[in-house]
Structure 1
């Protein structure tokens, strides 16, 4: 396959922190545009985390892809993360006035942010949800999670010491993952990014809100130890045009590395995107 054509794009700033995007362009005129949001529990990760083999599948199919920075918690809460991200996407699309078949795509927490953007009126032709969640009211999110009890304990006071004084838009797993682990071990994860625990409903999609979303492809491990498969089973009941592809896996991010199995799944993502008609863009 050809060498990836990449461009770094300055979008906006928050408290002197630059928010960037990376553009991955096909050799031909793009036939679709993916706006990609990375995972990381809203607390770690970086925009360019997709394996090169996946990126090349998209560009070889004539699809351009933009990967976005967004502000991370707990330094910044979701009521700031979301509008700053929305502005970043607006700037990117203003720079790409002829984008066709706009697809939101997220992994895990990135999918969650995509759900909120779509609920709040972002217009998209399609949505690819990789092991995400449309709401927060699950026992696994609010209580100590059994899976994370097998990890060395990260006491809340030790997690607190990892919080930076300045906002971040990228966080290495080795530095930031303990924050997330602590939140899941002690049932405090939601409080790390919500302004208040009273805001769980405000940052979760109701059935009627899910019913206004565009056509969606959902992919989720049936034995996901992190984000319960039930989150996708719930959403697919109310999404107006959705396909849920269950994966027989015990990993959360089963596509972390490019394997024959994961590459075949990305072939299905490409097929989903290329089958979307032009001009069907929906907004809430």
Structure 2
């Protein structure tokens, strides 16, 4: 059964979380949705995946956060931090989760945000990244995307019609057009951070997980399709190799022939097998 609660109240924006409580003392999964920081919402966590996690004994909390370009990455990170803190304090009082056994699970940019949290003082006990990325300063985001440039080219004026000028924490699919513009022109980093990729590189490195890894990083499971047209498979491969260099417990599951959002094909045997491995990983690292 789902309960929705506001975890952060602002003057012009309320930010919510959906809670799927499995009882006192249960380990917690905080899910961070996809959408390139620009679109999407907490409701994007598919019902099949919610059932899969909860049937395995995990309480699940799917969170919203403010979206770009109206809100920039530094503030979005504050929302994620506040959500984690809320789970560990207020939500724990209501539901009595075992917040000492908490994982962050994220898809695409949610994987990026999950991995970024692993570099901070509020890090979880485990991280699962589905087709996420650990390097926002790589050329893959700085150059126009060959895949997205096959679609009608948008300029900034066209794209700006699909976003607003006030904070929002739930983004309709039409906001994808702003992401399309960003990828067609290689300006995603500039648009979502408000910083210049070249001139502000040192400041941007704070938000680049691959540059901030240490041996204290949480155990991390990476899943990625090797035919991903949005986030290159190499993003998970590079993160996997770097984590190993630092002695971090990590595993990479490659979904052969799979594109982005492969987990939407939940009944596919390879996806079912991958999710069984997610549960195994979480049970190992979220145990007392």
TM-score above 0.5, yes or no: yes
SS at structure 2 position matched to 1:129: strand
Q: Is the CA contact 2:206–2:212 (under 8 Å) kept in the aligned structure 1?
A: no
Partner residue, 1:76:
71
**Separation in 1, partners of 2:10, 2:226:** 38
**Pairs within 5 Å for 1:36-55:** 36-55=31-50
Q: Residue deviations 1:124-180, cap 9 Å, x none?
A: 21111111111212211001000101112222210122220211111121x111100
Q: Is the CA contact 1:208–1:238 (under 8 Å) kept in the aligned structure 2?
A: no
**Separation in 1, partners of 2:268, 2:163:** 38
Tell me, yes or no, if structure 1 residue 99 matches structure 2 residue 80: no
Structure 1 residue ranges (4+ consecutive) displaced by more than 3 angstroms after TM superposition: 28-31
Q: Is the CA contact 2:37–2:109 (under 8 Å) kept in the aligned structure 1?
A: yes
Partner residue, 1:245:
253
Partner residue, 2:272:
263
**Separation in 1, partners of 2:211, 2:185:** 29
Q: Which moved more, 1:268-277 or 1:145-154?
A: 268-277
* Aligned-residue RMSD, C-alpha: 1.7
Q: Point out where structure 2 has 5 or more consecutive residues left out of the alignment.
A: none
Q: Point out where structure 1 has 5 or more consecutive residues left out of the alignment.
A: 280-284
**Separation in 1, partners of 2:115, 2:47:** 26
Q: Is the CA contact 2:45–2:62 (under 8 Å) kept in the aligned structure 1?
A: no
C-alpha displacement at 1:250, in angstroms? 4.1
Which protein has greater RCO, CA pairs closer than 8 Å, 6+ apart? 1
C-alpha displacement at 1:29, in angstroms? 4.1
C-alpha displacement at 1:92, in angstroms? 2.3
Give the alignment's TM-score, normalised by structure 1.
0.90
Higher helix share: 2
Give the alignment's TM-score, normalised by structure 2.
0.89
Query: How many residues end up aligned between the 2 structures?
Result: 273
